[in-house]
A and B are shown apart, each in its own frame.
Chain A
């Protein structure tokens, strides 16, 4: 037995005409109405009596999930996992988190709207819908509004084609087409559904297009942009650290100091123990504002991360850093001589690395002066305030 046609479809000239036709058709006893329009028509779903779309709730729900995820991530990262004070703000500063929360909300919401609409509600990927193969589809995607009386999902309700045609025409349809008519399909070939095979073909074509585009991009960047005269971007007379170089005879880009020379401020340091250093060294710098300022700068750059900005051994990083930095303002170190402090900076101690490579000699001595200032500031006497 021949299958019944999928639908009888009428084309209306305006959205208004379509909306007006719906109740009349319903009154005439046709249900299973579907509309196909070039653009969304507000409230058409209500008129057609379609199920209320859950999209709004999905979007709102996922948007709120986005808000919560962003807040959770920022809270965990900034206040729990890596507590680090930025700009003097509290670890959990919701004010600073809001822009990210806002962006992630929008991200989640828009992705949900797009993807849920396509894949959940519109059931993509789907292989062919009879209306896509109709003759009317060209008009529907341009400027006509279609209303179709459909067989329904399981085909349980065969359509009375003649009655449907009459009803559509009576409500103002300009033209009426019988869609998915198996009898007509053989003769006209109008009914050509999109099959899984077509999907594979399309996927292959997309893959080829991607490959071509990728190769094109690669060629553009790597070949076209580097043909003369643009090659100067790549070929610059420069040496990269730890890279080979053909410029020097030994093939190495990095140079050793000339034999027998020392860098300014980095004289070889002969003392093995603090006692040796104390016997030989004294702070050569005067205690001037300029020296203290230099010491303050170097201390902040090199020492504060571990010893804390006031030298008490409790920096903001202490929980993340395993070692126990010394409390430099304690009585022990107030008792240290300048030379002994200098010695620690130069050779390091246990978990504390040597700063000989980072600080020149006068910088180290300046830090020592500054340490004294810190010690004094944390152990001020009454006279100091007068």
Chain B
């Protein structure tokens, strides 16, 4: 598969226009606005990658067989964790611009002085590099192994992945928390919430699932992956449904505790985001991230209805993006209305991301033909 063809050209053109817009943002608007938008989209691609990588590892961890026939889809999308590498390194340039703890007065602030052990540029960069190495290694072991198995048909690779999966979970928990604390929550370094990493994890997993559902139906629409049946769809729908609730549970738990205790240093984060200009965004977020998908997927028939699943997946990806926007963008001090810079970034990253996703759909065979559980997985019935 190559990314040529009219759709490919369109995506390429969109990305190009977006790139110009992004560059213009830096020059005409402010560098802060540039980096804030950049951060949102970098995190979006990264979390899709991490969410799909988590899906792959989860299968090995719990030994599920139903997911073996669809595994190639998240495996291919997990390559976004690799894309995130250069993006993260480039993103390090934003530290001096948008993070208050790098600013001149930070040392005078007793709270920031206390956190300086963790929040300083060299250590931050070291954590970024460490995370990138851990993700690359995990990708290489789990996904790379699976691709290699297409040729070798060696069951030992499956055994190795199963052994590695528990360690991956530890790596994942650590790295997602670090991403949440470092890239997002340190934008307001006086604020903290212990559960923030879990919150980001919930969003990432939904994003990974939704992206996989869309890619799966994209392939099915092209006449590929016909072996995957409605029983498999049902499980994907069930996971999407379940984690929609999980995200809401975690999100509300964080909100309620902070609202209840009403401590100035904690509640400031929400004051900015659920009152005033951002209140409508918070409401829309609750609707698109919970209420609508919940009722759209609650019936058992909805969970394997391809049209319904596709729509919910698009909505879920949008909701995740809106979630990131809602977490990151208020720190800019602007209202929530997007302008041309936001649109440019959307064009750039959606165009680029879709191009990457499209070409990644050509990696390896559509089914993990070397996996010893493939036959069982294909025979899976609810």
Task: Indicate, yes or no, whether A interacts with B.
Answer: yes
Binds B, one of A91-99, A234-242, A279-287, A311-319: A91-99
CB distance from A22 to the nearest CB of B (A): 14
Q: Are B256 and A99 in contact (CB under 8 A)?
A: yes
Q: A87 vs B260: C-alpha distance in the bound complex, in angstroms?
A: 8
- Output the least CB separation between B358 and chain A (Å): 34
Cβ-defined contact, A56 with B381, below 8 A: no
A43, B300: Cα distance in complex, Å: 10
Q: Check B192 for interface membership: any CB of A closer than 8 A.
A: no
Encode contact with B along A267-291: 1 for CB under 8 Å, 0 otherwise: 0000000000000000000000000
1/0 contact trace for B281-305 toward A, CB 8 Å?
A: 0000000000000000011100000
* A58 contacts chain B at the CB level, 8 A cutoff: no
- Residues in B with CB closer than 8 Å to A41 are 382
Task: For the complex formed, measure the closest distance between the CB of B379 and the CB atoms of chain A, giving whole angstroms.
Answer: 8
In the complex, whether A350 has a CB less than 8 A from a CB of chain B is no
Please indicate the chain B residues that have their CB under 8 angstroms from the CB of A65 in the complex: none
Query: Which of A15, A42, A60, A98 contacts B256 (CB under 8 A)?
Result: A98
Whether B26 sits at the interface, judged by CB under 8 Å, is no
A16 at the interface (CB under 8 A from B): yes
Inter-chain contact A98/B382, CB cutoff 8 Å: no
* A354 vs chain B, min Cβ distance (A): 38
Interface presence of B164 (CB below 8 A): no
Within 8 A of A (CB), among B219-262: 231, 234, 252, 255-256, 259-260, 262
Q: Which residue of B lies closest to A96 (CB)?
A: B260
CB distance from B231 to the nearest CB of A (A): 8
Contact B262 A88 (CB under 8 A): yes
The answer to whether B256 and A56 have CB atoms under 8 Å apart is no
B260 touches A42 (CB 8 A): no
Which residues of chain A are near B381, meaning CB under 8 Å?
15-16, 42
Whether A56 touches B299, Cβ cut-off 8 Å, given contacts A15-B381, A42-B382, A95-B255, is: yes
Distance of A42 Cα from B256 Cα, bound (Å): 38
Residue of B nearest to A57 (CB): B299
A98 to B290, CA, bound (A): 15
Among candidates B252, B256, B298, B382, residue contacting A43 with C-beta atoms closer than 8 Å: B382
Q: Tell me the bound Cα distance from A60 to B295 in angstroms.
A: 10
**Closest B residue, CB atoms, query A88:** B262
Nearest A-chain residue to B253, judged by Cβ = A99
A43 to B298, CA, bound (A): 16
Closest to B255 in A: A95
How many residues of A sit at the interface, in one of the four size bands? 10 to 19
- Name the B residues within 8 Å of A56 (CB-CB): 298-300
Decide yes or no: A98 and B252 within 8 Å by CB, A15-B381, A43-B382 being known contacts.
Answer: yes
Report the Cα distance A351→B252, complex, angstroms.
Answer: 46
| A16-B381, A42-B381, A42-B382 known; A95-B260 Cβ under 8 A | yes
CA distance A87 to B261 in the complex (A): 9
- Residues of B near A87 (CB, < 8 A) are 260, 262
How many chain B residues have a CB neighbour from A under 8 Å?
Answer: 13
CB distance from B299 to the nearest CB of A (A): 6
**Contact bitstring B261-272, A, C-beta under 8 A = 1, else 0:** 010000000000
Residues of A within 8 A of B234 (CB): 42
Most B CB contacts (10 A, CB to CB) among A43, A56, A87, A99 go to A43
CB-defined contacts of A15 to chain B, threshold 8 Å: 381
Closest residue of chain A to B256 (Cβ to Cβ) is A95
- Docked CA distance A271–B208 (Å): 82
Question: Which residues A13-61 have CB closer than 8 A to chain B?
Answer: 15-16, 41-43, 56, 60
| Chain A, Cβ-Cβ closest to B259 | A95
Closest Cβ of chain B: how far from A325's Cβ, in Å? 29
Q: Nearest Cβ distance between residue A167 and chain B, in whole angstroms? A: 24
Q: How far is the CA of A212 from the CA of B231 in the complex (A)?
A: 49
Contacting residues, chain B, for A95 (C-beta < 8 A) = 255-256, 259-260
On chain B, the residues within 8 Å of A42 by CB distance are 231, 234, 381-382
Instruction: Closest A residue to B382 by CB, please name it.
Output: A42
Which residues B106-157 have CB closer than 8 A to chain A? none
Q: Which of A60, A88, A89, A96 contacts B298 (CB 8 A)?
A: A60
Write out the residue numbers on chain B whose beta carbons fall within 8 Å of the beta carbon of A16. 381
* A60-B299 Cα distance, complex, nearest whole Å: 9
B69 to chain A, nearest CB (A): 17
Please indicate the chain A residues that have their CB under 8 angstroms from the CB of B298 in the complex.
56, 60
Complex interface: chain B residues within 8 A of A43 (CB): 382
Chain B residues with CB under 8 A of A88: 262
Residues of chain A within 8 A of B256, CB atoms compared: 95-96, 98-99
CB contacts (< 8 Å) of B252 on chain A: these are: 98
> Which residues of A sit under 8 angstroms from B259, Cβ to Cβ?
95
CB-defined contacts of B260 to chain A, threshold 8 Å: 87, 89, 95-96
A96 CA / B255 CA spacing, docked (Å): 11
* Distance, CA A95 to CA B261, complexed state (A): 12
CA distance A99 to B249 in the complex (A): 10
Contact with B along A95-139 (1 / 0, CB 8 A): 110110000000000000000000000000000000000000000
Q: Quick one: closest B residue to A93, CB to CB?
A: B259
Q: Which residues 75-125 of B sit at the A interface, judged by CB distance below 8 A?
A: none
Distance (Å) between the CB of B295 and the closest chain A CB?
A: 9
Residues of A within 8 A of B299 (CB): 56
| Distance A41 CA – B298 CA, assembled complex (angstroms) | 19
* Chain B, range 294-351, C-beta contacts under 8 Å to A: 298-300
CB distance from A342 to the nearest CB of B (A): 38
**Chain B residue at minimum C-beta to C-beta distance from A46:** B301
B99 to chain A, nearest CB (A): 30
Residue of B nearest to A40 (CB): B382
- A89 and B382 CA atoms in complex are apart in Å by 48
Binding site for B on A (CB under 8 A): 15-16, 41-43, 56, 60, 87-89, 95-96, 98-99
**Beyond known contacts A15-B381, A56-B300, A88-B262: 18 more, CB 8 A cutoff:** A41-B382, A42-B231, A42-B234, A42-B382, A43-B382, A56-B298, A56-B299, A87-B260, A87-B262, A89-B260, A95-B255, A95-B256, A95-B259, A95-B260, A96-B256, A96-B260, A98-B256, A99-B256
User: Which 7 A-B residue pairs are closest in the complex by CB-CB distance?
Assistant: A42-B382, A95-B259, A95-B256, A56-B299, A60-B298, A98-B252, A43-B382
Q: 20 interchain pairs (CB within 8 A)?
A: A15-B381, A16-B381, A41-B382, A42-B231, A42-B381, A42-B382, A56-B298, A56-B299, A56-B300, A60-B298, A87-B260, A87-B262, A88-B262, A89-B260, A95-B259, A95-B260, A96-B256, A96-B260, A98-B252, A99-B256
Residues of B within 8 A of A (CB): 231, 234, 252, 255-256, 259-260, 262, 298-300, 381-382
